[in-house]
């Protein structure tokens, strides 16, 4: 299991239900692989600097844990993502560069506590690219 590795999400294309793409690049720490009955490999990644993202007005909110929503329901607190490689023959490992992944925001902290991937507890953000943080030049 790959843990304690830092990765950087530096590209994200997909559904514009949040303004998370405006906050890229995101540094993530790999917390561990999630069990799942679905095909694929799913990893829980903690966001290094938790953030608030604006939600589109059309976004359904009933399945989002109340503790992760702003008081007025207009924003989501993002502290973790679930990523899965876009190609079934790829894995999240040290040294990755431009690894295409599907990314989803964790909408219920139970995902991290249970260690089980549940599609109803995440919100799909789109397809992105990940790099091992050690391979990304330090910004000045």
Phi, psi of 36 (to 5 degrees): -160, 150
Please name which of 100, 86, 5, 99 lies closest in space to residue 44, comparing C-alpha atoms: 5
Question: 59-97: per-residue pLDDT in tens?
Answer: 899 999 999 999 999 999 999 999 999 998 888 888 899
What confidence score (pLDDT) does residue 18 get?
86
What confidence score (pLDDT) does residue 71 get?
96
Q: Where in the chain are the domains?
A: 6-75+85-131
């Amino acid at each position: 299991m790959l843990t304690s590795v830092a990765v950087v999400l530096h590209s994200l294309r997909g559904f514009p239900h949040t303004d998370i793409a405006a906050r890229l690049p995101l540094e993530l720490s790999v917390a561990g692989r999630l069990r799942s009955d679905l095909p694929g490999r799913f990893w829980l990644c903690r966001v290094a600097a938790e953030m608030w993202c604006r939600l589109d007005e059309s976004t359904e909110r009933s399945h989002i844990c109340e503790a992760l929503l702003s008081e007025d329901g207009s924003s989501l607190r993002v502290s973790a993502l679930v990523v899965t490689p876009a190609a079934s023959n790829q894995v999240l490992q040290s040294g990755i560069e431009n690894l295409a992944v599907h990314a989803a925001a964790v909408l219920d902290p139970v995902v991290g506590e249970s260690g089980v991937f549940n599609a109803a507890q995440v919100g799909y953000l789109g397809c992105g690219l990940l790099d091992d943080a050690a391979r990304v030049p330090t910004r000045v």
